[in-house]
Amino acid sequence: MKKMFSALLAPLLLLTGCGAGGEGYRQITQQEAKERMDAGGVLVLDVREQDEYDGGHIPGAVLLPLGTIDETSAADTIGEKDAEVLVYCRSGNRSKQAAAKLAELGYTNVYEFGGIMTWPYEVTTE
């Protein structure tokens, strides 16, 4: 009976997005985010406002302010629904909201890694 219960429970947990509390995205550390960036093939999404972005952002990050995220802006910025997207903001609050919004829109490979205030790696204004 235990084996049967475990066999039924495992796929159910995978379908509910475990690892993110059911929000549909995954939270990772900044170190994990940096490793993914260094490996390539990811979109780094800054969800702050333009003036914050201009003041300093992660190199290669694309700006998509939280308040502008909808089906059209996400499709224009991200493209494929299975693209790997790493989301950050200033402190981690807006990035969680943005990651949840992207998951609601059907994006399946979204990772939230907090805010630039604690980012220990390179930042640029270019």
First to last CA, the chain: 60
> Are the beta carbons of 24 and 110 closer than 8 angstroms?
yes
- The rounded distance, in Å, linking the Cα atoms of 25 and 13 is 14
Q: Point out the residues that are catalytic.
A: 89
The amino acid at 77: T
Closest CA to 76 of 112, 45, 37, 52: 45
> Are the beta carbons of 112 and 97 closer than 8 angstroms?
no
